[in-house]
Structure 1
Amino acid sequence: MEAGLLWFCNWSTLAVCAALKLPQIYAQLAARSARGISLPSLLLELAGFLVFLRYQCYYGNPLLTYLEYPILIAQDIILLLCVFHFNGNMKQAIPYMAVFVSSWFLLSLRTWLVDLAMNLSTLISAASKFAQLQYLWKVQDSGAVSALTWGLSAYTCATRIITTLLTSSDFTILTRFVVMLALNIWVTATVLRYRKTSAKAE
């Protein structure tokens, strides 16, 4: 029973994450605009993903419990480049990319460093969700933000809570996913709320 549940959670998470950001990328390309997307939120999310992936690699956790993160990082980079493109400042992407690449190597220099970064990554990822929420509250328009992407993110957090409980029971990882689940649901609800408001206004 547990083995079957673990298999389902791992593979369904991978399947969902393979296309997780595609609705958001498509919505942005279709609108030819980055309207509604918070750049600070995206940068913080990418930082959180990188730290989490580095932590998992550093401690040699089972590959299937974090295999979706390289996929998510690649999709976030594409999304980030789209935001820079539609905002007309592609050159600004270069310093951010340099910081992210160098951070990957610096994090593994000391065990305490990667542990501290992992604890902070939950706060960073939570801050990314709050940045998106704050932006939505400010403009009261979900614009090119995809509710499907945020809803799927909530699903992957739920499945990762289960896989963490069934494998490592790492409290730090578990806390991260519980917090992210709650915030992803909140963002999804906010996007849907402002989409209905925009539709009524039109």
Structure 2
Amino acid sequence: MTTITRNLPWFVKDLGVSIVGQKCYVSLVENLDLSDVECIKYSLSKGLGLGIVVGGSIMKVPQFLLIVNARSARGLSLPAYVLETLSYAITLAYSYRNEFPFSTYGENLFLTIQNAIITLLIIYYPSSTPRLTRAHAPTTGRVAVAAIFMILAGLALVSLPRSALAPLQLATLPLSLFSKLPQILQNHRAKSTGQLSAFAVIAQIGGCLARLFTTATEVGDPLVSAGFALALVLNCVLGLQMWMYWGKDEREDFGRIGVAVEEKQVSWQPEAQKVEVIIPPQSPGPKHPSGRKWARKVD
């Protein structure tokens, strides 16, 4: 078997070396040494990291589609998404400037972009259920201002020195806390999760679990690990709320539609009044000298 693994095509070998490194590739692939625990953990971490990066590129797409299809951001907290986007952007800048492996933070790039788009959609679409008799005009001006502010904030993070990014990375801990609390409180008050995507919440729980393992294996930075641990706890709370309030949105929407149809069909109609028309008997008309009655020709 090792004869085959040691003579794999060059592009397969180069891909394997680029992922797990020369040492672990020779140990696990060429020599098939499954007793090398260190390389097995490292390879598993790399595989999980790449999976998270790929998953992060589509994690928020269902949330995006929910908002666009419903043309409403009902149940989504704007402050929560603003703070979460800022937290992702800071972690992205901190990891990039410290030259961490891309597999340990790459999903933050895609999540920052997706969260920024969702934040703009929350501003663009109404955050509450629109009334049937009232049209909501899109606030394109606010969207433009928010987009410009996001671009400027991104440029500011990129231009900051590495020494200034460490305190910002530490600040992602309270940012993670305050980014989830508005959404959690809003769900609790409404007893509903609105347009919140279950796929995104579940994917974030799994991503945080995997990131705790990859960070401990490849990076070992306590600031990054603490951020993922706190995010895991808060995402689990959101997942619990999704389970508690599951199906309530459909019942509310059905009841709202039923009331709207009933109100539309019921209209005020005054009771019809009966009018009696009395036609007096006709008196005999004058007779013609010939003895015939007058007759009128109708053209």
Provide TM-score, normalisation by structure 2.
Answer: 0.63
Question: 1:19 is matched with which residue: 35, 58, 80?
Answer: 58
SS in 1 for 2:245: helix
CA deviation digits over 1:88-141, x for unaligned, max 9? 323223343333333334344344421111111121122111111011112222
SS in 2 for 1:40: helix
What does 1:34-45 align with in structure 2 at a 5 Å threshold? 34-45=73-84
- Residues in 1 aligned to 2:199 and 2:108: alpha-carbon distance in whole angstroms: 18
Q: Which residue in the other structure is 1:166 paired with?
A: 217
Does residue 114 of structure 1 match 2:153? no
Q: Which residue in the other structure is 1:130 paired with?
A: 181
- Residues in 2 aligned to 1:189 and 1:17: alpha-carbon distance in whole angstroms: 22
Letter in 2 for 1:32: R
- Residues in 2 aligned to 1:192 and 1:156: alpha-carbon distance in whole angstroms: 19
Q: Which residue in the other structure is 1:103 paired with?
A: 153
**Unmatched 5+ stretches in structure 2:** 1-39, 127-137, 255-299
Contact 1:147–1:192 (CA under 8 A) maintained in structure 2: no
- Residues in 1 aligned to 2:51 and 2:43: alpha-carbon distance in whole angstroms: 12
- Residues in 1 aligned to 2:140 and 2:123: alpha-carbon distance in whole angstroms: 5
Please provide the CA RMSD for this pair.
Answer: 1.8
- Residues in 1 aligned to 2:76 and 2:243: alpha-carbon distance in whole angstroms: 14
Q: Which structure would you say has the larger RCO, counting Cα contacts within 8 Å and 6 or more residues apart?
A: 1
Contact 1:14–1:67 (CA under 8 A) maintained in structure 2: yes
**Larger helix share, 1 or 2:** 1
Letter in 2 for 1:133: I
Letter in 1 for 2:201: W
SS in 2 for 1:43: helix
- 1:199: how far off? 4.8
- Residues in 2 aligned to 1:141 and 1:101: alpha-carbon distance in whole angstroms: 33
Does residue 75 of structure 1 match 2:126? no
Structure of greater Rg: 2
- Residues in 2 aligned to 1:136 and 1:182: alpha-carbon distance in whole angstroms: 16
Q: Percent identity?
A: 22
CA deviation digits over 1:55-83, x for unaligned, max 9? 11111111121111111112112212221
Does residue 2 of structure 1 match 2:41? yes
Q: Which residue in the other structure is 1:146 paired with?
A: 197
Letter in 2 for 1:49: Y
**Unmatched 5+ stretches in structure 1:** none
What does 1:45-56 align with in structure 2 at a 5 Å threshold? 45-56=84-95
Q: Which residue in the other structure is 2:96 paired with?
A: 57
- 1:11: how far off? 1.9
Contact 2:120–2:146 (CA under 8 A) maintained in structure 1: no
Q: Decide whether aligned partners of structure 1 residues 81 and 104 sit closer, same or farther in structure 2, where only a CA change above 3 A counts.
A: closer
Letter in 2 for 1:93: V
- 1:200: how far off? 5.8
- 1:159: how far off? 0.9
- 1:192: how far off? 2.7
- Residues in 2 aligned to 1:182 and 1:86: alpha-carbon distance in whole angstroms: 30
Q: Decide whether aligned partners of structure 1 residues 127 and 196 sit closer, same or farther in structure 2, where only a CA change above 3 A counts.
A: same
The aligned length equals 202
